[in-house]
Amino acid sequence: MIFELIKDMQRAIAAMPDAHPGRRTVELLSNALTSCTEGLLERPEHSTQTIVNQLRQPDIAPHASDLIDAAERRLDSGDLWLRAEHGIATVRQWQDIVAVSPERGIFHRARKPGEIVDCRIGTHELVDLHRFDTVAYVAVVAHPVRRGIAVVAADGAVEAAGLSRPILLRSRSNCFGFFGEGFVGVDRDDRLVYYDRSGSEHCVLQPDMPSVGCNIVMTPDARAAVVLAGDRPGRQRVLVLRSTPDGGTHCRRWRVGEALVTAAGLGREATWLVLATLDRRLLLYREGLEAPVASGQVSGSPGRPFDVVRACALTTETEEFAVAFADSEGGLGLWLPRRDSLTRLGEYHALRDVDDLTHLSWMPGEQTLLVATTTSLRAVNVEEPVEAVRRPAIGHCSIADDGWVAYACPQARQLGWLHDGHVVHEFAHPNLTPHSIASTGGGSVVVGTQGGVVQFGPDREPGADDGLDIFVAPVVAVLPWDATTIAAVCESGEVKLVRPAEEWVEPIHPPIAHWKQAGACLRGNRQQVICWGREQAGGSASRVFVLDSNGVNEVVVDVRGVIRDVTYAPIGDMIHVLLDDGVTSYRQRAGAWRPWMQRAADADCLAAVGDALLAVFLAETDWVELWSTRKSLATVSAAYMPVTPTCTDTNGSSIALGSASGEFLVLGCRGRTGVRT
C-alpha cells in the first residue's frame, strides 16, 4: 500500500507544472514518505507522527510549516506522542547491505529476518520489499539488470521468485548467482550447473568442483562470468562462462600456470580478464591469448604497500583500461596497465571497522567506483582520494534545565554543545578523553576524564593545567549534587564530592575490590547515588546499590546477568533496571528494595521521562516506546527512531539521545495526556 502511494505521488508530481501551487507540498510529502517507509511498514498507526518528525528537519521545516502545523494540532489534541524537536533524518540506510545492482541504481539490504529491501543508491529511497520463508540465509544474490533476489539457506536450498523446481546446492563454497536467463551454482554432487529460470537443470558446466575456494564474479549484464575454483597452486581452475544466444552456456578453462588467483574481474564485453594472485600481482589477459598482455606488482606501490588483493574490477569503457582493487587490510587502489601506473586511492573502510567488502564495481560509463561494505556504500571518483571518515559515535550526553545539551565522543576526544537545535561549538582536545559529561546550564559542563574532572564551556576550551586529578581510573559519571558540587563516580567504585572551581574534594565511598563500575545516577534530590556495575572476580555478579553521603549503601538487586542500563523515576520512588531479558522496576518496601513491576523486552537503553513514563529504546528495531509506570509498564506511545542509541539523558519531558552514527536528537513528549500518563 505504501509503495503504491509513493508511486501515485511521483506520478502526480510528474504531471504537475513547475508553477503549480500544490507541487511543492506533494514533493515534500513524497520525500518524507520515502524517507520513513520502513517505519510506516512496521507501525502504520503512527504514520502522522512519523511523517511530521521527518518534515521537522531544519532544511525542510521552513518549506513545510503549514503541513507541520496542521498535523501537530491534530496530534496534540490526541494521545501522547513524541516530537523530534529538530526532525529525524534517516541515517541507518547503509546498515546490513547484502548486495548491490549498479546497473539498476539499487542496493539491497536486510531489513529484518525474512525481509530484504531495495533502496536507490543516490537517494536512499526504499522502493521495493522482498519477503522470504528462509530466515537464516548464508548468501544473498541480486540480478544485476532486472528485479530479482535469491537467498541460499545454510543447507544449500535456494529460494527465489519463479522457481517451480528446487535448486539444492552444496552447503558451502557454492559460487551461486543469477546468470544469463537462469542461475549458476555448485550442486550437492560438486558439479557446476546452469539452471534455467524455473530451477530445472539445463547443463553441467564442470564436474568435480573443489570443496573450498569457489566463487564467481559476473559482468554487469550477467551474460558472462569468471569462476575461481580451488585454493591450491597448480590445481586451481579459472573458468570463464558465457551465455549463448540460444539460452545455453559455454564454459572455457583459462590457464594460469602455478599462480594462485585470489580475485578476478571481467570487462563489460568479457573479452578482457584481470586476475590478482597470492604473490600480489595483477595480470591482464585478452581473449584468445594465453600469456598476460600486462602485469603489475601491488606490493611495490608507493607509500604503504598493498596486501593480498581480495576483489578487483576492470573497466574498458574509458580511453584506457583501469583496474580497481581492494586488499585484505582495507586499502583501495587503481592500476592503469597501459601506463604501468599504480595509485593508492585510500581506504574502503575505517581502521577500526571490521566490515568485509561486499561489492566493488565501476559505475556504467564513468570513472567512478562503487564500493560497499555491510555498513557503507560510496561512489569514489578515481581522480580524487577517498577517506574513510565518518562522524564519531556519541558516547555520553546531558541536557540541562535550560535546554542546553552537551555531548562527548570518546574515540575522537571530541565535545560539543547543542542549543535551540543548532550546534553551538565543537572541539577536539588531544589530551582529554571524555568518559562522562554533565550539562549544568548556560553551556557550562563538567567532564569526567581519565582520573579527574574538568569544568568549562563553549566559550572557553580547557587548558593543559585545567581539571582536578582525583582518581587513578576513568570517571564513569559526573552528577550535579547541588548548585556548586558534583558527585564524581570512578570506575573502581570510588565516589567523591567535588567543587572544581574551589578545588575542593571530599571522599564519600572508597574503591571496591575487584569491581568495575558501569554507571551511576542520582536518586532524585535525596543526595543519594544509584550505582551499578559488575564484580571482576568470584561469581562475577552484577549489582545495583544506593549510596548516601555518609558512604552507607543499600543493595537493590544482585544478579548473574548483565545490567544494560538503570534509571530512576521520582514518582513512586522507583529504580528501573534493564537486564538481558527485560525491565524490572524496584520500590522500597519494609526496609528493602523489592521488585514491583516487570516486562520482557530486548532493549538497548532506557530513560525515565516526566512524572511516570519510561522511554525504552528497543534493540533490533528502529523504535522507541513510552511505557507507563502507572499502568504496569504498558506501552502508551512509540516513535520511529532510525538510529542506534548509545546514550540518553532526560530533563522534564525532553529526551536527549546520542547515536552510534554521530547523530544527535532531542525528543519532546506532547499530546492531550501530557507526560503524566
Report pTM. 0.70
Give the distance from CA 192 to its chain's centroid: 36
- Nearest Cα neighbor of 252 from 263, 234, 262, 266 is 266
Per-residue pLDDT at 676: 46
Paired with 381 in beta bridges are: 368
| The pairing of beta strand 645-651 with beta strand 654-659 | antiparallel
Each residue's pLDDT tens digit, 600-638: 999 999 999 987 899 999 987 889 999 999 889 999 999
For residue 489, the one-letter residue type is: V
Per-residue pLDDT at 94: 58
Contact 145, 185 (CB under 8 A): no
Q: How far is residue 101's CA from residue 140's CA, in Å, rounded to a whole number?
A: 12
Lay out the sheet containing 281-286: strands in order across. Answer: 261-266, 272-277, 281-286, 294-297
Low-confidence ranges of the chain (pLDDT < 70): 1, 90-95, 123, 300-303, 318-319, 349-355, 366, 383-390, 464-465, 539, 672-677
191 sits in which H/E element: none
- Nearest Cα neighbor of 611 from 593, 636, 594, 638 is 636
Give the distance from CA 290 to its chain's centroid: 45
- Nearest Cα neighbor of 74 from 56, 51, 49, 95 is 49
Paired with 617 in beta bridges are: 605, 624
In the 8-state DSSP scheme, what is residue 104? G
Contact 547, 553 (CB under 8 A): yes
Per-residue pLDDT at 3: 75
Contact 229, 206 (CB under 8 A): yes
469 sits in which H/E element: strand 468-469
Per-residue pLDDT at 529: 95
